[in-house]
Structure 1
Amino acid sequence: MDVSFLGGPLPQRGVGIVAPFDFALDRELWRWVPDDVSLHLTRTPFVPVEVSLDLARLVSEHETLREATRALCAVAPEVVAYACTSGSFVGGTAGERAMATAMADAGEMPALTTSGAMLDALREIDARRIAIVTPYTKSVTDSLEDYLDEAGIGITGRCYMGLTREIWRVAYRDVVDMAREAVVDAPDALFISCTNLPTYDVIPQLEAELRMPVLSANQVTMWAALRAVGKQAVGPYQALLDPVARRGPAAMTSTTGTQPVAHEADGLVEPEEQQVGPEPEAALAGAGTEPGDPLEGAPDLGYGHPGLPEEWGSGPQPPA
């Protein structure tokens, strides 16, 4: 059969991604990518070290990044991004800039890192005081806070999990619980750290509940990489990606979404005004089983996006 009339596949723009050896969320990165862009991923060599400051330093050595970038050059991407938050903040702001320069020189193309993209994204939404959520240990979380402080970003609250392995298995509900605990003292935004932490589906839900922009490591990485080649990241009602969303519920000045949700066990009474929209449990309940696909019949929360399947809050982590 003659198929010459099809004219071949659509022309693609290329984005190179250098990820740590244990990165498991390739599919999550793709969810921010428009159809005419392809991701080309490579990983740093395996080292038998748990998630820690030592690992962050090992996976971000300049020669490791140069070799990975040179390998990506074989498929001619237009930009290369280092998709690791801790690996790009462990050396401070000067260390992050040096990493980007090492990759740019090796590949003769624009280069960026997750931590550098995070600062660009915070400037984009004019966020100067933020809450942070991490899956890291205290020492790695402290290092993130030091990086942000050096960049002039204040921290109003934080929550971390203390994990040293298999971060990609964290359930969405755990991310949501940490976010609620971290958001105190009226931050301008919330940042969820670690490219191995699943976040795509919880961002619009948290923005609707907390009434503030919510950024994540994978989101800012893809936003910055695509912007570098003149493309826009895609995503459901996310303030970073859609200026209209910044003027919607997520951007509303809130007098209620700046305090953690009170629990009976704490002996605290939850303020009535803190219940914005549906109850949190209802906001995370819905129908369907395929993450990333439109959920026919999912509840309309009134913010232009569906609810999440209830079963994602327990049991095995869905594919990201």
Structure 2
Amino acid sequence: MTLEQNPALAPVSDLPGPQAWRDIGVVCPFDMALDHELWRWMPDGVNLIFTRTPYYDQPVGLDMAEEISDHGEIQDAVRSVMAISPAVVAYACTSGSFVHGVQGARNLSKAMVSAGAPAAVTTSEGLLMALDALGVTRVAVATPYLAELTDRLTSFLEQGGKSVVSHEGLGLDRDIWKVPYATTCELIRQADRPDAEVIFVSCTNLPTYDLIARMEQELGKPVITANQVTAWGALRLMGREAVGPHQALLQATKG
């Protein structure tokens, strides 16, 4: 067997690697089950380093959102992931970043920077960035949440200068990552309204990657999701572009 047939036969001194990677640190809640979904937006040469906030034994709701947004615990997670020297740190949680309003989301990013992050973004800040990049203000909201969390999200968007034209929720307080695609698609259809310029699907623990282009084609408008805007926002901070098939947000902001 020749060297061309099997590069593994090359002398170690001739190997080009290891590949140089740029890292994004990801702080997420203890129950995050979709690390693999965030990876799907990553371009070549970008690596994700995950860490989690402490466990809380309670249902998904306002109380949990407030617990997992604790600045001290998130700063501890940032300090841990900074051992890898990421270029950006993202807080991958929608409810934990919108629960205290727009200023609360900004304060959370500031807390991450003060803990050592070179740059930081939260999911909810990524959402506002994405809406601005699309040039839209009228939003339909689809969530897996209880009404109390969905209402808090609509308040966040209105604080951010957006108009929520409708909102629908599944009323779930656990096991959100297990929601079938068919259920999420129907939720998006129910949330849509003729005057909505965009539909936002909340929760980083709700699988959405495979649904975005399909629902955009069906409804004829952008559909943006929590994990999408988290990945997109973090990549923009490091000067890279998210990858994804026929997703309106990515196409609209492509360099």
Output the CA distance in 2 between the equivalents of 1:116 and 1:4. Answer: 46
Q: Secondary structure at the match of 2:250?
A: coil
**Of the candidates 57, 61, 68, which is equivalent to residue 77 of structure 2?**
68
Higher relative contact order (CA 8 A, sep 6+): 2
- Which residue, 19, 28, 44 being the options, matches 1:35? 44
Residue 152 of structure 2 corresponds to residue 120 of structure 1:
no
Is 2:149 the partner of 1:140?
Answer: yes
Alignment of 1:45-64 (within 5 A): 45-64=54-73
Q: How does 1:77-92 map to 2 (within 5 A)?
A: 77-92=86-101
- Asked if the contact 1:131–1:184 (Cα under 8 Å) also holds between the matched residues in 2, the reply is yes
Please name the residue that 1:273 is paired with. Answer: none
What residue in structure 1 maps to residue 201 of structure 2? 192
Q: How far apart, CA to CA, are the structure 2 residues paired with 1:67 and 1:164? A: 26
Provide structure 1 residue ranges, at least 5 long, that are not aligned to the other structure: 246-320
Task: State the one-letter code of the partner of 1:157.
Answer: S
The structure that is helix-richer by fraction is 2
Question: Counterparts of 2:123 and 2:57 in 1: how far apart (Å)?
Answer: 23
- Cα distance in 2 between the residues matched to 1:240 and 1:184: 19
Residue deviations 1:134-187 (CA, integer Å, cap 9, x gap)? 000000000001111111111111110010111000111111000111101421
Q: From 33, 38, 41, give the equivalent of 1:24.
A: 33
Q: Which runs of 4+ in 1 moved over 3 A?
A: none
The TM-score normalised by the length of structure 1 is 0.75
The aligned counterpart of 1:154 is 163
The alpha-carbon deviation at position 105 of structure 1 amounts to 0.8
TM-score (norm 2): 0.94
* Aligned 8 A contact 1:156 1:185 in 2: no
Asked whether the equivalents of residues 89 and 117 of structure 2 are also in contact (C-alpha less than 8 Å), the reply is: no
Structure 2 CA distance for aligned equivalents of residues 65 and 210 of structure 1: 37
- In the alignment, is the contact (CA less than 8 A) between 1:157 and 1:185 conserved in 2? no
After TM superposition, the structure 1 stretch with the greater mean CA deviation from structure 2, 72-81 or 182-191, is 182-191
Aligned to 1:103: 112
> What are the superposed Cα offsets for residues 75-94 of structure 1, whole Å, 9 maximum, x if unpaired?
00001000000000000011
Query: 5+ residue gaps in structure 2?
Result: 1-8
Deviations 1:13-54 (A, max 9, x none): 010000000000000000000120000000001011110100
Using the alignment, how far apart are the partners of 2:56 and 2:167 within structure 1?
A: 29
Residues 164-217 of structure 1 deviation map (CA, whole Å, 9 limit, x = unaligned): 111000111111000111101421100000000000000000110100011000
Structure 2 CA distance for aligned equivalents of residues 132 and 79 of structure 1? 28
Aligned match of 2:140 in 131, 135, 155? 131
Secondary structure of the structure 2 residue equivalent to 1:35: coil
Identity of aligned residues (%): 47
